[in-house]
């Protein structure tokens, strides 16, 4: 094989392999980008699940349920207090009316 033949082979390989190499590099960059986005999305999903559910006691869902139960209890107590105040006021009004 002569030097011209080797140069021709090298030139042919370079012209045919360079576009393929460039395309492989672009595909590799896209795959790396997709992998990074997937890892980020997985991390965000895991963090959201931990925030939402917690360990069964301190997740957002459980805290909201506890707050709703506390609020319902407070409203129940307020209703009882208002009913007692209304009954007491009515009795006081009757007593005042009878005394006059």
- Segment 21-74, tens digit of pLDDT: 888 888 888 888 888 888 888 888 888 887 777 776 677 778 888 888 888 888
pTM here is 0.44
Instruction: Give just the sign of the alpha carbon dihedral 22, 24, 27, 28.
Output: negative
Angle between helix 3-53 and helix 60-99 axes, rounded to 10 deg: 20
């Amino acid at each position: 094989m002569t030097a011209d033949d080797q140069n021709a082979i090298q030139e042919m390989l370079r012209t045919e392999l360079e576009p393929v190499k460039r395309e492989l590099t672009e595909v590799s960059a896209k795959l790396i980008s997709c992998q990074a986005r997937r890892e980020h999305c997985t991390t965000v999903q895991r963090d959201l699940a931990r925030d939402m559910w917690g360990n069964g006691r301190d997740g957002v869902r459980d805290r909201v349920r506890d707050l709703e139960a506390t609020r319902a209890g407070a409203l129940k107590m307020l209703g009882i207090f208002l009913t007692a105040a209304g009954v007491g006021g009515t009795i006081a009004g009757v007593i005042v009316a009878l005394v006059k």
